[in-house]
Amino acid sequence: MKKILLLAGTRPEAIKLAPLVHELRQRDWCEVYLCAAAQHRKMLDEALKVFDLVPDIDLDLMMPNQSLCQIASRLFEHLPAVLREVEPACVIVQGDTTTAAIGGLCAFYEKIAVAHVEAGLRTQNLFSPFPEEVNRRTLSTLTSWHFAPTERARQNLLREGVSNARIHITGNTAIDALLSVMQYVHSVPTELMPPPGKKLILVTGHRRENWADGLRELCLGLLELATQRDDVHIVYPVHPNPRVREVVYSLLQDKPNIILTDPVSYVDFISLLSESYFVITDSGGVQEEAPALCKPVLVTRESTERPEALESGCAKLVGTDRYQLLKVAGELLDNRQAYHKMVKMESPFGDGRASERIASALEQEIL
Minimum CB distance to ligand UD1 smaller for 40 or for 233: 40
Q: How far apart are CA 234 and CA 29, in angstroms?
A: 48
Q: Binding ligand UD1 by CB under 6 A: which of 88, 103, 104, 131? A: 131
The one among 103, 149, 171, 263 contacting ligand UDP by CB under 6 A: 263
Instruction: Give the interface segment with ligand UD1, choosing from 36-44, 75-83, 190-198, 343-351 (CB under 6 A).
Output: 36-44
Q: Which residues contact 71 (CB under 8 A, 6 or more apart)?
A: 39, 61, 62, 63, 98, 99, 102
* Shortest distance in whole angstroms from residue 60 CB to ligand UD1: 12
Asked if 362 interacts with ligand UDP (CB under 6 A), we say no
Helix 173-181 and helix 11-25: axis angle, to 10°? 80
Least separation in angstroms between residue 71's CB and ligand UD1 is 6
Q: In the stretch 145-184, what mask flags binding to ligand UDP with x, by CB under 6 A?
A: ----------------------------------------
Return the closest-CA partner of residue 258 out of 277, 230, 283.
230
Q: What Å distances lie between residue 222 and 211, 256, 285, 351, CA to CA?
A: 16, 12, 21, 33
**19: contact with ligand UDP by CB under 6 A:** no
From candidates 144, 216, 240, 363, binder to ligand UD1 by CB under 6 A: 240
Give dist(CA 232, CA 244) in Å, integer.
23
Per the annotation, the verdict on 206 as an active-site residue is yes
Q: What share of the chain is helix, strand, coil (3-state, %, to 5)?
A: 50, 15, 35
Dihedral Cα 279, 280, 285, 290, nearest 10 deg: 20
The per-residue DSSP string of 152-203 comes to HHHHHHHHTT--GGGEEE---HHHHHHHHHGGG-----GGGPPPTTPEEEEE
Query: Cβ closer to ligand UD1: 290 or 359?
Result: 290
Nearest approach in angstroms of CB 238 to ligand UD1 is 11
Give the integer Cα–Cα distance in Å for 36 and 45. Answer: 9
Whole-angstrom Cα distance, residue 26 to residue 105?
28
Given the residues 40, 146, 239, 322, select the one marked as catalytic. Answer: 239
Residue 210: DSSP 8-state = G
Q: Is 241 in the site for ligand UD1 (CB under 6 A)?
A: yes
Note if 132 is an active site residue. yes
* 87: annotated active-site residue: no
CB of 280 to ligand UD1, least distance (A): 16
* Active-site option among 208, 233, 301, 322: 208
| Site of interaction with ligand UDP (CB under 6 A) | 11-12, 15, 204, 237, 263-264, 266, 269, 283-286, 289
- The residues assigned a catalytic role are 96, 118, 132, 206, 208, 239
| Site of interaction with ligand UD1 (CB under 6 A) | 10-12, 39-43, 62, 64-66, 68, 71, 96-98, 131-132, 206, 208, 240-242
